[in-house]
Structure 1
Amino acid sequence: MKDMGPLTYFLGLEISRNTQGYLLSQWKYTCDLIKLANLTDNKTHETPLELNVKYEKDDGDLLSDVTSYRQPVGRLVYLTMSRPDISYAVHVVSQFVEAPCTLHMTAVHRIIRYLRGTLNQALLFSSSPDLQLSAYSDANWARCPISRRSTTGYCVFLGQLLVSWKCKKQTTVSRSSTKAEYRVMVDACSEITWFWGLLIELGILLSVATPLYADNLSAIQLASNPIFQERTKHIEVDCHFVREKYTVGIISLPHVTSELQLADFFTKTMTSSCHRFLHGKLMLVHYPTSV
């Protein structure tokens, strides 16, 4: 093995350090992606996706060259490693790589224009000594207009650090918003449990339960109140994994208002003002290109 000094660049990831902590970015990778798109204008957008637009399979004419769509989408998927703010938008456009249409390509170009306007963004890993875990989970019920499956979204913080996030379409159709929210809580709870095990291996013992913030009161009651169990036999047995972790004190289930639900970033489009507010909560910071 060879000591090559402090890590600065690895597989498109740029790592730098300042007084606040470590900065993880993909500036050069993003610049290459913008060049690949070969856009003929200098427009930028404040949000990655247009508000309240639902894309379907037959939105416009089929593209004659599917590679021109698949290549940037594939690169965008890799870019979500350091840019959680585009996770939902990339989740949407990646559903059409098999047979992309003109409107889908327009959505990809909008994401790239958003990246052009937010090029100097980095994910900050603060040097704060706070090692308390916290998480947010949310679901966009029946969001997909094609299959009516819900969208899962959660994020996990270690202190102020955003260490894990997910945006994914659920594998089955949920007949109620409570069921959709509960499924997300299962995924987030599994992630929290994994982090508990990792921290224990590192010799860090968490003294308090990890708050898993949710904005659906029915899902919270379902997990915390055993009286509700007899009414919910239609929910699979493994979903009650959440209640087990709640009972033993690994998680707590505080309610959070929809305005402060950080997981919304991974389940839906939003206005410019909401996007800016939540963007700052995800520890994405501006840094100079010389870094």
Structure 2
Amino acid sequence: MAEELAALERTGTWELVPLPPRIRPITCKWVYRVKTRSDGSLERLFVLYLLLLLFVSGRSLSLISQLDVKNAFLNGELREDVYMQPPPGYSVPEGMVCHLRRSLYGLKQAPRAWFECFSYVVTVVGFSASDHDPALFIHSSSRGRTLLLLYVDDMIIIGDDSQFIAFVKARLCEQFLMSNLGPLRYFLGIEVSFSSDGFFLSREKYIHDLLARASLTDERTVDTPMELNLQLCPTDGEPLADPTRYRHLVGSLVYLGVTLLDISHAVHILSQFVSTPTHIHYSHLHRALRYLRVTSSHRLFFPRSNSLQLRAYSDATWASDPSARRSLSAYCVFLSGSLIAWKTKKQTAVSRSSAEAELRAMALLTTELS
């Protein structure tokens, strides 16, 4: 708490002022742990992340670094007047409140303010934002190309222009409080290891942490994440008295499904019952966890290749949802022979024929490719 308060004072996050009339200050509280990103929001970024790694593998680039911005949101300038009650444990004169000049974690404006600040800094040093994804910044010169990918306060820098990369790191350290994490090894819960033939992605550490949180009381394992041709309904079994643990575990599986193709269908089924899960649903969730127990050491391999051939496949089931009679769409996308994107998704409308279900699946795939 003392370190956080020191960072807030160092960046001039607020100034103490008397509370203006007819103004209600917002409240604040201390949060002592970082919540796991388990809402699936990484999905779009993951495809771009894989493309960058394939770019590195294909061109044999050795300059790939990972950096982290400390107290990232404190760097964003606020446009609006926001008044906040002093943090618990922070002594201020009576009647004084904090007039925020910079964003704080938890403010709705904070992500926008931080991204505007970061974008301005990297644009000044020579980067330009990608037309396809604003989180990707590109710099090209006669010495080579440099790519910077940002996810909240984590970033990776890839390129073959060592002089420019060193310049960028120095400028970022001047503007922000940075941590240079060295060569890329672990990014957003994904372990990365390079070899002469390509690279591997692993989630072994995350899976072990998840199994520890699940507190399974046995050591059983299974060969598949879900039974064949399983049909689950919302009314199966008695509702759980406390669905919190089910929701937490399914959310973690959603995050794992971003990199684990083999559990994507099981996660798709289990996530449909997070509002009112039952003991039956919870037992099938345990099966998926037991499958992860035996496959936790499995890794995704992406071979080194200079080819940029794109291949994509789609499929669909017809009226497979027993409650709503909606169909399922599924697709997978390969670049240079490497799997870079996949999804299983229930269709938004009822298809009147198997042909219509297939066309909807193709439309979903086309949207992903575009």
Q: Which whole-Å deviations, capped at 9, do the CAs of 1:84-116 have from their partners, x for residues lacking one?
A: 110000000000000000110011101000000
Question: What are structure 2's unaligned runs of at least 5 residues?
Answer: 1-171, 174-179
1:27 to 204, 207, 219: 204
Q: Give the superposition deviation at 1:143.
A: 1.0
Question: What are structure 1's unaligned runs of at least 5 residues?
Answer: 195-291
**TM-score scaled by length of structure 1:** 0.64
SS in 2 for 1:79: helix
> Distance in 2 between the 1:20 and 1:98 partners?
45
Pairing of 1:221-240 with structure 2 (within 5 A): none
Which residue number corresponds to residue 127 of structure 1? 304
1:73 to 245, 250, 260: 250
Which residue number corresponds to residue 236 of structure 2? 59
Greater RCO, CA 8 A, separation 6+: 1
> Distance in 2 between the 1:74 and 1:190 partners?
25
2:268 to 63, 68, 91: 91
SS in 1 for 2:350: coil
**Equivalent pairs, count:** 193
1:168 to 322, 332, 345: 345
1:49 to 226, 232, 247: 226
Q: Which whole-Å deviations, capped at 9, do the CAs of 1:145-199 have from their partners, x for residues lacking one?
A: 111110110000002111111111000000100000001111112223x2xxxxx
Which residue number corresponds to residue 199 of structure 1? none
Q: Which whole-Å deviations, capped at 9, do the CAs of 1:194-236 have from their partners, x for residues lacking one?
A: 2xxxxxxxxxxxxxxxxxxxxxxxxxxxxxxxxxxxxxxxxxx
Which residue number corresponds to residue 193 of structure 2? 16
Greater Rg over alpha carbons, structure: 2
> Distance in 1 between the 2:195 and 2:295 partners?
20
> Distance in 1 between the 2:234 and 2:295 partners?
29
| More helix by percentage | 1
> Distance in 1 between the 2:287 and 2:245 partners?
15
Pairing of 1:149-228 with structure 2 (within 5 A): 149-192=326-369, 194=370
Task: Check the 8 A contact 1:15/1:24 in 2, yes or no.
Answer: yes
| More strand by percentage | 2
User: RMSD between aligned alpha carbons?
Assistant: 1.2
Q: Give the superposition deviation at 1:11.
A: 2.1
**TM-score scaled by length of structure 2:** 0.51
